[in-house]
Amino acid sequence: MAKINIHFFRNSTLEKIDYAKVLEFFDNQSNFETYYTEDYVEIIHKDSEFNFSYRFLITKKSKVSQIYKLNPMFSNVNFLLEMPIVIPSFLAKEILSTIQKLCKMFELGIYHDSFEDVKPFNVVEFLDFFEKQRGLYIQDNGLAGKIPFDNEKLNVICKFQRSVDNLVDYYHNEVVVNLCYPIIDKNTGESGICYDWRFGTPIIFAPYVTFINIIDDENQKMLVRRDELIQILNKYLDEITNFLPDMYILKSKKAKVCRKELKKIKRIVMEKDYKVLRMCDVIEV
Q: What is the pLDDT of residues 228-270, one digit of tens each?
A: 999 999 999 999 999 999 999 999 999 999 999 999 999 999 9
Q: What's residue 249's pLDDT?
A: 98
Asked if 102 and 153 sit in the same domain, the reply is no
Asked if 135 and 163 sit in the same domain, the reply is no
CA torsion, ordered 94, 29, 168, 166, to nearest 10 deg: -60
Q: What DSSP line would sit under 83-119, residue for residue?
A: EESSS-HHHHHHHHHHHHHHHHHHTEEEE-TTSSS-E
**End position of a domain, from candidates 94, 115, 141:** 141
pLDDT over threshold 90, residue 145: no
Residues 178 and 206: beta-carbon distance below 8 Å = yes
- Name residues whose C-beta falls within 8 Å of residue 182's C-beta, 6 or more positions apart in sequence: 147, 191, 192, 193, 194, 276, 277, 278, 279, 281, 282
Asked if 255 and 217 sit in the same domain, the reply is yes
**Global confidence as pTM:** 0.94
Asked if 177 and 127 sit in the same domain, the reply is no
DSSP H helices in 142-269: 151-162, 164-170, 226-233, 252-257, 262-267
Q: What's residue 285's pLDDT?
A: 78
Q: Which domain holds residue 128?
A: 3-141
pLDDT over threshold 90, residue 144: no
**At what angle are helices 19-27 and 89-106 packed, to 10 degrees?**
140
Residues 160 and 178: beta-carbon distance below 8 Å = no
Beta bridge pairs of residue 193? 182
Determine the Cα–Cα distance for residues 227 and 253; give it in Å rounded to an integer.
22
Residues 58 and 79: beta-carbon distance below 8 Å = yes
Asked if 255 and 163 sit in the same domain, the reply is yes
Determine the Cα–Cα distance for residues 62 and 6; give it in Å rounded to an integer.
12
Q: What's residue 1's pLDDT?
A: 72
pLDDT over threshold 90, residue 166: yes
Asked if 122 and 170 sit in the same domain, the reply is no
